[in-house]
Amino acid sequence: MRYATHFFALLISHLIMLPAQADSTPDLLKELTNAHGPSGFEGPVRKIMEREMGALADSVEIDGLGSVVGVIKVSDKAPNIMIAAHMDEVGMMVKRITDEGYVKYQVLGGILPAALINQRFRILTSKGYVIGISGMKSIHAIPQGERDLKPEHNDIFLDVGASSRKDAQERLGIQPGDPIAPDTEFEVLNGGNRYVGKAWDDRLGLAVMIEVMKRLQNKRPPSNVYFAATTQEEIGLRGARTSSYLVKPDIGISLEAGVAADYPGISQDEAQEALGKGPGLFLFDASMIPNNNLKKMVTALAQKENIPLQFNLQPGYGEDGAEMQKAFSGTPAVNLTVPVRYLHTHYGIIDRRDIDALVNLLSAIVYELTPARVEAIKQFRD
């Protein structure tokens, strides 16, 4: 007995000394946000999602527009819960090359011209990426009365260091139609809870989706859960439409980047989210009003689980939930977000605590959506 007691004492001592499980979320976020994937050119992001979903889903398929759909399936008779986040980021495409070798572009998604001035870009060519700098006239050459003029996209160009169109095409391999993405790297901001990176819209949603899939490995959900990493959201919610017709959802949940309004120069009338105060639930956007029954369930569940929840109304905004909502005869849908500062620019800032809170909330939602609960949400009996 003495030897057994000694053995168990050694075992417990060894287990206590084992290192804590590493936090893999920052590495996942870094890989996702550093990957380049302007609308229609989501390939690098798709590879990440295929890899991650392949290890977690019962099956994975790619639809005709390139969206990746993985499912954790319970039964053919169970309702289908569709959770969507988009792979694409706002970016540009090469329109033409001037005789002097400068690159003119076409925007892919909503980008303010002012956000593109004097920034670094990567032009993704068949030969590899080429660095381009968006040129800007020196202040010394601008008359005093013209210094406050706002640029237009047609005024902006990329300087790739080429001496001519021929040099840009033959030496650098730049061709019309090549995608262009911000040249930005992920960074933990000064050692705190805040992360800096590009394309949080919507690599955040993809990361949340993967983390929830990991949790579902321990306990199967009560309904079928389809996870859709969609394409071309920034240019018309296109991937969400095709993947909705693949999934045939009974409930739709969009995961998105929210619009933070907690910094100088923006008001609570323009947006209502803040970093570090929990995920957001959109009550209105230009593409969708959420289903009231689903909205009430999410709000009550957040309160029950002690998860802080913010609300946002944003008229200049659209998201994949709108396509899920309009699929077939109509689907109850809601849009959940992680707040982001400086959305659709080279550098967005997020708070890790908001990501964790949304993972907790979405996990609770998935387990709450039993077949009976889904059927009740789909009824309109005010």
DSSP string of 123-166, one letter each residue? EEETTEEEEEEE----GGGS-GGGTTPPP-GGG--EE-S-SSHH
Over residues 95-101, the mean pLDDT reads 98
Residues facing 335 on adjacent strands = 254
Write down the mean pLDDT value for the chain.
93
What's the token pair of residue 15?
């287990």
β-strands 103-108, 120-125 pairing: unpaired
pLDDT exceeds cutoff 80 at 18: no
| φ, ψ (nearest 5 deg) of residue 9 | -65, -40
Q: How many Å apart are CA 120 and CA 27, to the nearest integer?
A: 23
Contact 307, 360 (CB under 8 A): yes
What residues contact 140, with CB distance under 8 A and at least 6 apart?
A: none
pLDDT in tens, 160-204: 999 999 999 999 999 999 999 999 999 999 999 999 999 999 999
Contact 310, 280 (CB under 8 A): yes
Q: How many Å apart are CA 253 and CA 170, to the nearest integer?
A: 46
Q: What is the pLDDT of residue 7?
A: 45
Q: What is the pLDDT of residue 16?
A: 47
Count CB-CB contacts under 10 A for residue 122: 18
Indicate which residue of 211, 233, 273, 368 is catalytic: 233
Contact 254, 336 (CB under 8 A): yes
233 as an active site residue: the answer is yes
Q: What DSSP designation does 236 have? A: T
What residues contact 42, with CB distance under 8 A and at least 6 apart?
A: 66, 87, 88, 231, 232
pLDDT in tens, 203-239: 999 999 999 999 999 999 999 999 999 999 999 999 9
pLDDT exceeds cutoff 90 at 151: no
SS3 content of the chain, % helix, strand, coil (to 5): 35, 25, 40
What band does 135 get if pLDDT is binned at 50, 70 and 90?
A: confident
Cα angle, residue 111 at apex, residues 106 and 112 outer, rounded to 5°: 110
pLDDT exceeds cutoff 90 at 137: no
